[in-house]
Amino acid sequence: MEFFRAYKANLTTPTYFIESTAPDNVDDTGPLPDLPPEYRKYLTEIHAEQAVQEIAETLVAGPDSNLVVMVHGFNNPEPAVLNMYTGAAMAIERDGAINGRKGLVCIGYRWPSESMGEPWHGTWDALPTFPTWLLNLGVIIAVVPFLLFYLASWAPGLLGWLRHPIGDHLVTILGLTLLGLVLTAALLRAIVYFRDTYRATNFGVPDLVHIIRVIDGKVGEIRQSKEASNDIQLSFIGHSMGGFVVTNTIRVLSDVFEGGRSRIEAYGAAADPSLASSNIGHVFQLKRFVLASPDIPAETLLTSRSNFLASALVRFDEAYLFSNEGDEVLRQISTLANYFVFPTRSRNHGFRLGNVEILSRDFGLTSVARADILKRLRIGHLTLQELYDGLLRAAEQRQRAIGSPTVPKPPVLLPERFTYFDCTDYTDDWTDWSDPDKPIKPARPLLSFANWYKRNDEHARLPWHAHLRLLFVYLFTQRPNVHAGYFQGLLSQQLIYRLACLGYNGTIMAYGSEQELGKQCKDKKIRLLVSPELPGRPAAVASSPTTPSG
């Protein structure tokens, strides 16, 4: 059986939809479903080996080759992924700055994910034995208490306490508690978050590693060389849990023991990023990393020890983060799911990177000195500076508790490597990704209700009732789509795909100047904070705070 199956899009830019053949459930034995008929006008199925051959030939032929891989998030069955990737392919096809670029290959990668509620039909069959006993016992105690009272009349000395009203209530509460425990476990199964996390880790990552490995090998075969050249750019777009898939893929692809101790030290936030090689395999070089609403803990930006984001991030030349304060999927659903697994003692920790907000009253380019970057970025209740100071105090307390000298304050490198796009108030014309052929829709708020709470106070937050309303609207209408609206708005789509395909300098050239990019963001109510570490950025801009555009 093939590890993946492939489809080719009928577009100018070589574009492929590659799907892991891992089943949704390990005990599924039937064949994978065929491609839905409505997508056959966009995609043509080809053999996996033919897809690899064509991709490798295109990459070899290009003077400035770039393989861009897009990875979706959780709660995405095949139709939803096809909608998303079809919209992405059409957006690239319409963009004259990208379309026709020689050596560019785009891949939409699908790992096995399912929609919320889908596992309900197998809940009983998959329920382990002990919870089954608890469920049956809870039903008996809660639904049939009168039987116990009947027995009490026959054995008053043993069960006579049940005749008392308090005894009745205690029995009922006990039954409902047992029922609630089992039903809570069934609910956690039905939201598919934990199931998708398992599949992303054990199916999605290994299969993506395999795909990149075989393309690497095919390029070497075409070149008839086993010598490492690492001259083909490898870039990623990760949405939601797809960011987790990408970071772990990079971690697997990178040999942590190669280069000795210096390579291992480069995984920590305190290490010199220059020690981490961007080379992958024999032909690839990690280039650009675009994250949209990543389902990754915010603390990975700050921790001074090794972590999965640091080990990937320091290897890319450019990194971009699209986020919004009102992403209730991350702020409510993800934090609730991770409440059971994320090791923290306070609700101030555990917020996700997709909720990063830039503290600025205005839109467009945000003026901030390099030393103040952490103070101008907030996740949840605290700024990155406050989170960092708290983690540092905790580390110092641990050192004092064990009688060791206080460790020196480590530099914070990871937050400065990102260029941030805060899309909380983003308003733009948009496309319906369920049917890319439909006309452009008129402007509306895409990720929140765009109430511009920071208009007079840069530290203002979305109030609790705004979060509640956004969650309710997302669950029932997805207007605004707080978690994936980036892939519907015209400007945000353009930015994501241009940054991944062209890089920052290529994107600036497409807009004309950095000031024009800032103006575009200002007009659409996007806050932009550019990384001071972007390679090749004009020195006059990179060495000083950016100029506000409004």
Q: How far apart are CA 247 and CA 237, in angstroms?
A: 11
Amino acid at 229: S
Prior bond of 294 cis (ω within 30°): no
State the angle between helix axes of 514-523 and 490-511 in degrees (0 to 180), rounded to the nearest 10.
160
- List alpha helices for 325-383, DSSP H: 328, 335-338
Note whether 336 and 354 are within 8 A (CB): no
- Helix (H, G, I), strand (E, B), or coil: what is residue 419? strand
Note whether 539 and 510 are within 8 A (CB): no
Q: How far apart are CA 488 and CA 478, in angstroms?
A: 12
Counted residue by residue, the chain has a size of 550
Contacts by 54-58 with C-beta closer than 8 Å and gap 24+?
54/8, 54/14, 55/14, 55/16, 55/105, 55/107, 55/215, 55/218, 56/215, 56/218, 56/219, 56/221, 56/222, 57/222, 58/14, 58/103, 58/105
Please state, for a pLDDT cut of 90, what percent of the chain lies above it: 48
User: Would you give per-residue pLDDT tens digits along the chain (550 residues)?
Assistant: 477 899 999 889 999 999 999 988 888 877 778 888 888 888 999 999 999 999 999 999 988 899 999 999 999 988 889 989 988 999 999 999 999 889 999 999 999 999 888 888 888 888 889 989 988 888 888 776 666 556 556 555 555 555 555 666 777 788 888 888 998 888 888 888 999 999 999 999 999 999 999 999 999 999 998 888 899 999 999 999 999 999 999 888 875 445 443 444 443 444 455 567 888 888 999 999 999 999 998 878 876 555 678 778 888 999 999 999 999 999 988 888 888 888 887 887 888 999 999 999 999 999 888 889 999 999 988 998 888 888 777 777 777 777 766 555 555 568 888 999 999 999 999 987 666 667 888 999 999 999 999 999 999 999 999 999 999 999 888 889 999 999 999 999 999 999 999 999 999 999 999 999 999 999 999 999 999 888 866 543 444 444 333 3
Q: How far apart are CA 452 and CA 337, in angstroms?
A: 29
Whole-angstrom CA distances from 49 to 79, 218, 235, 466 are: 24, 10, 22, 50
Q: Of the candidates 486, 239, 463, which has an alpha carbon nearest to the alpha carbon of residue 353?
A: 239
Q: How far apart are CA 466 and CA 38, in angstroms?
A: 37
Q: How far apart are CA 324 and CA 426, in angstroms?
A: 9
Exposed e or buried b for every residue in 94-131, given b needs 16+ CB within 10 A? ebebbeebebbbbbbbbbbbbebeebeeeeeeebeeee
CB count within 10 Å of CB 187 equals 12
Q: Of the candidates 428, 462, 432, 461, which has an alpha carbon nearest to the alpha carbon of residue 445?
A: 428
- Helix (H, G, I), strand (E, B), or coil: what is residue 16? strand
Note whether 490 and 430 are within 8 A (CB): yes
Note whether 399 and 300 are within 8 A (CB): no
Predicted confidence (pLDDT) per residue in 479-529, tens digit: 899 999 999 999 999 999 999 999 999 999 999 999 999 999 999 999 999
Token match 């609207």: residue?
Answer: 473
CB count within 10 Å of CB 201 equals 15
Residue 435 tokens, joined: 């049917």
DSSP 273-321: GGGS--EETTTEEEEEEEEES--SBGGGGT-SS--HHHHHHTT-SEEEE
> To 10 degrees, the CA torsion angle through 492, 241, 469, 378?
-70
Would you list the domain boundaries of the chain? 4-116+193-420, 120-190
Detail the DSSP E strand segments found in 359-490: 364-365, 377-379, 382-383, 418-422, 427-430, 441-445
Q: How far apart are CA 223 and CA 90, in angstroms?
A: 32
Q: What is the pLDDT of residue 201?
A: 93
Q: What is the pLDDT of residue 303?
A: 65
Q: Give the rounded distance of the alpha carbon of 244 from its chain centre.
A: 6
Q: What is the pLDDT of residue 259?
A: 43
Q: What is the pLDDT of residue 168?
A: 64
Note whether 238 and 292 are within 8 A (CB): yes
Q: What is the pLDDT of residue 264?
A: 41
Q: How far apart are CA 96 and CA 234, in angstroms?
A: 21
Task: Give the containing element (helix H, strand E) for 490.
Answer: helix 490-511
Residue 61 tokens, joined: 């032929």
Q: How far apart are CA 19 and CA 23, in angstroms?
A: 11
Q: How far apart are CA 534 and CA 416, in angstroms?
A: 9
Note whether 497 and 84 are within 8 A (CB): no
The model's pTM is 0.89
Q: What is the pLDDT of residue 3?
A: 76
Q: What is the pLDDT of residue 175?
A: 84
Q: How far apart are CA 104 and CA 508, in angstroms?
A: 19
